[in-house]
Amino acid sequence: MRGIAFVALGVLILVLIVGSQTQARAACSCTGMQKVAATEETPVIEQKTCPVMGNPINPKIFVDYKGRRIYFCCNMCPPVFNKDPEKYIKIVDEQLKAAKEKATEKVPEKMPETR
């Protein structure tokens, strides 16, 4: 008799745990956002370098300025950018121009093989 009671108690606890986790997932809006994010196209970020520090950007750290999204390497850079945004916009523009020029450079053709 005691064995059946312990099994019943165990089953009850298991049902309560699984049920509460299911409700938590249903209430969590992040699960739905992950599904949306997986189906949407991820925008291509042309900017690769932080205009303040020169380090690689973190795509989660940015400032929207005059219709442009400017990315930074860390949370310390946006306040520096905001003090003189035009200075750093010029740096970003120079970086993007250099990257485009590098991408359009003609790759030298292979030398013909000699035998």
- CA-CA distance, 59 to 50, in Å (whole number)? 10
Choose the most confident range, by mean pLDDT, from 28-32, 38-42, 69-73: 69-73
Mean of the per-residue pLDDT values of the chain: 75
Greater confidence, 4 or 106? 4
Whether 78 maps to a domain, the answer reads yes
Residue 70: Cβ-neighbour burial (10 angstroms; 0-12, 13-18, 19+): buried
Look at residue 13 in the predicted model and tell me its pLDDT: 65
Q: Give the CA angle between residues 82, 47, 42 to the nearest 5°.
A: 110
Whether 76 maps to a domain, the answer reads yes
Domain that holds residue 70: 58-102
pLDDT of 31 over the 90 cut: no
**Considering its fold, how many domains does the chain have in total?**
1
Whether 65 maps to a domain, the answer reads yes
Range in 13-22, 72-81, 84-93 the model is least confident about: 13-22
pLDDT of 94 over the 90 cut: yes
